[in-house]
Amino acid sequence: MNCHQCQQNCDIEKSNWWQRLTRKHRSKQVKAVDGNIALVGTPNVGKSVLFHKLTRVYVDVSNYPGTTVEINRGVAKIKGHQIRVIDTPGMYSLVPISEEEKVGRNLLSQESFDAVIHVVDAKNLGRMLPLTFQLIEAGLPVVLAINMMDEADNLGLKVQSDALQTELNIPVILMSATLNRGMRELKQTILQCLSIQPEATLNTLNNLETAR
């Protein structure tokens, strides 16, 4: 019998080989993502360092349509969940002046995010918090990642993260992206924003259920 693939004799061994190959190819395809997050903030606060620490699975660099502004998109794998991450261009305000800020604002308004991580420099909190307020006022699901804590510590600066968290009513994480400090808390918070309960919480809930 002629095979429709090769137009020759198609033995059973070959069809098994074909099935194995297509099965292998299918298993290599990227699974559907479980959520979307964005990294935002002024230039030089560590967004790209954080982006590369989070995304090791797949990274795509492209220009935002009609502009020369580069956008990095990737996929973070956190506890088996695939989360799309976008590294937005630097922005000082949601009221755009530069082309980068326009692109950043467009991205935030056109796409839907489960978490918008506002990355700030711990040494310059006063200058950076106004954007946090704007993002919160815009109704975005903001997480404040206070980065460069290593440098703040060296300067003897203290950041009252608990007070900030209570005042702003959003998750606040102290971190040093280059030193991997705070990465675990950030990943845990991202899962919580996606309504994916961390194991500990799930276990606690299960225990409560069985105790009834």
Residue 146 as a binder of ligand GDP (CB under 6 A): the answer is no
Build a one-symbol-per-residue string for 39-78: x at contacts with ligand GDP by CB under 6 A, - elsewhere.
--x-xxxxxxx-----------------------------
Residue 96 as a binder of ligand GDP (CB under 6 A): the answer is no
Per CB under 6 A, the segment of 106-114, 147-155, 163-171, 198-206 that binds ligand GDP is 147-155
Backbone phi and psi for residue 115, each to the nearest 5 degrees, phi listed first: -150, 135
Q: Which is nearer to ligand GDP, 50 or 140 (CB)?
A: 50
Residue 115 as a binder of ligand GDP (CB under 6 A): the answer is no
The distance from CA 161 to its chain's CA centroid, rounded to whole angstroms, is: 21
Q: Which of residues 50-89 bind Mg ion (CB under 5 A)?
A: none
Contact partner at residue 49 from ligand GDP, Mg ion, none, CB < 5 to 8 Å by partner kind = ligand GDP
Q: 3-state class of 191 per DSSP?
A: helix
Q: 3-state class of 79 per DSSP?
A: coil
> What is the SS3 assignment for 124-158?
HHHHHHHHHHHHHHCCCCEEEEEECHHHHHHCCCC
Of 112, 76, 106, give the one whose Cα is nearest residue 94.
Answer: 106
Query: For residues 34 and 113, what is the distance between their CA atoms, to the nearest angstrom?
Result: 11
Per CB under 6 A, the segment of 25-33, 72-80, 102-110, 176-184 that binds ligand GDP is 176-184
Residue 178 as a binder of Mg ion (CB under 5 A): the answer is no
Query: For residues 2 and 101, what is the distance between their CA atoms, to the nearest angstrom?
Result: 60
How many residues form the binding site for ligand GDP (CB under 6 A)? 16
- Min separation Cβ 47 and Mg ion, Å: 5
Provide the pairing of β-strand 115-121 with 81-87. unpaired
Q: Which residues bind ligand GDP (CB under 6 A)?
A: 41, 43-49, 90, 147-148, 150-151, 176-178
